[in-house]
Structure 1
Amino acid sequence: MFSYTFHWNQAFRALPQMLDGALVTLQIALLSMAIGVTCAIALTLFRLSGNRALSGFATTWIEIARNTPALFQIYMAHFGLGSFGIHLSPYTALLAGIAFNNAGYLAENFRGALKAIPETQIRAGRSLGLTSLQAFRYIVMSQMLRIAFLPTTNQMVWAILMTSLGVTVGMNTDLAGITQELNARSFRTFEFFALAAVIYYLVAKTVTLAAHLFAARMFRY
């Protein structure tokens, strides 16, 4: 028979602590996206550069990021690099692993967005006296980011959820880490993790809604 007694009061008393963890989760996700977008743009340019070495480097990064588990990537940042004397804190390893994963997925998004932009626009820019770099910066980049904006938002949500993997490398200041510690002290697994799931859901939905409102305002034309 079902005989479990819920004790939600313990979970609700810990809500401020869990919300502090949610802020750390959001911070890691935002930083990983900033790093990921920067690396993804570079990887996209490398892959389309025609230089075999740069293209090979970008392709290898993208293939590893997209075809291996995110947990593996975080483990390699924390434990793998430690084998070579490079010791990263749980926070840094989690950030590095998620940023690496983000860059791989976003590079493919950006490459697809670039393919959707007619090459005639670049030639038109060159005919007006722009250099290749200026044509890319002023003509192509803005359109690429516009096309890839909503897929990038999906990656942001994925980054938020990926932060929960930090508990595997000892991360204890984000939402998942704090929830795990609270559960270890109280053994109220269902209550704490159910509340954490609601917080993850609300954060993810808020980011998605904000992104759609931003896109509707900024990309009306």
Structure 2
Amino acid sequence: MFDFDYTFHWITVWNVLPEMLDAALITLEVAVLSMILGLVIAIFLSLGKESENELARTSSIVWIEIARNTPALFQIYMAYFGLGAFGIHLSPYVAVLVALTFNNAGYLAETLRGGFSSIPNTQMSASRSLGMSKIQTYWYIILPQVLRKVYHPMTNQMIWAILMTSLGTLVGMLELTGKTDQLQSLSFRTFEFYLVAALMYFIMAKSVLLGSRLLANRLFRGDA
């Protein structure tokens, strides 16, 4: 039933730990880039969903609904395999980045929309009466307040992005999970490799959470 004579060989993992750390950096890189790009797109999607322009509103709604109501794995497959049917061949890295950006943008758009709706309309009127353009009002007055309100949900989304990069292994991306799978297949020390990988994911997630709290204490020190 159970093999209690299992002998751990941690030295096997230790010898290739630098390779796993490099793969973890790729994981962080993809997660951070997908969050930055996703946030930029999400700002336009959240505003577009409330726009009076039918094309902008419809396009935003379609993007958000697809991103939020289909599996992230499906989105990665569409970016990697689906676009290939149209002659667009992306590398595993780019495909995962595109898919996670698409997904993050959809979720962040709804988060931002909640933030925008919490800002009183009188602020726009007051800013316009002072001679500021609509773009200036959004950039200098409204958007900073919105980002402050949605700061913590964005932190959760960042952690989610880090964990979801693991799906990239299914299209051949050698991020942390992909590299771990490759390395353990050479030695068959499955338990040791995946335990160390899980610990690395845990440390990355907790580091983001801790860093977020420290940054929030610094940025929002004067908040009630």
Which residue of structure 2 lines up, in the alignment, with residue 182 of structure 1?
A: 183
The AA in structure 2 aligned to 1:191 is: E
The code of the aligned residue for 1:57 comes to S
What are the within-5 Å matches in structure 2 for residues 13-28 of structure 1?
13-28=15-30
Partner Cα separation in structure 1 for residue 29 and residue 166 of structure 2 = 13
Q: Which runs of 5 or more residues in structure 2 are unaligned?
A: none
Tell me the alpha carbon deviations over residues 130-159 of structure 1, each in whole angstroms, 9 at most, x when there is no partner.
111111111101001111111111111111
2:13 to 7, 11, 27: 11
Summarize deviations over 1:81-139 as a string: whole Å, max 9, x none. Answer: 00110000000001001100000000001000011111111111111111111111111
1:61 to 2:63 alignment: yes
Deviation at residue 48 of structure 1 after TM alignment: 1.4
Equivalence for 2:208: 207
Give the whole-Å Cα distance in 1 for the aligned partners of 2:173 and 2:137. Answer: 43
> Given the two structures, how large is their TM-score scaled by the length of structure 1?
0.97
What residue identity is the alignment partner of 1:156? Answer: M
Query: Gaps spanning 5+ residues in structure 1: where?
Result: none
Normalization by structure 2: what TM-score?
Answer: 0.96
User: AA paired with 1:198?
Assistant: L
What residue is the counterpart of 1:107 in the other structure? Answer: 109
Distance 1:150 1:213 in 2: 12
> How does 1:14-163 map onto structure 2 within 5 Å?
14-163=16-165
Q: Secondary structure at the match of 1:109?
A: helix
Worse-superposed segment, 12-21 or 65-74: 12-21
Equivalent position SS for 1:95? helix
Aligned CA RMSD, in angstroms, stands at 0.9
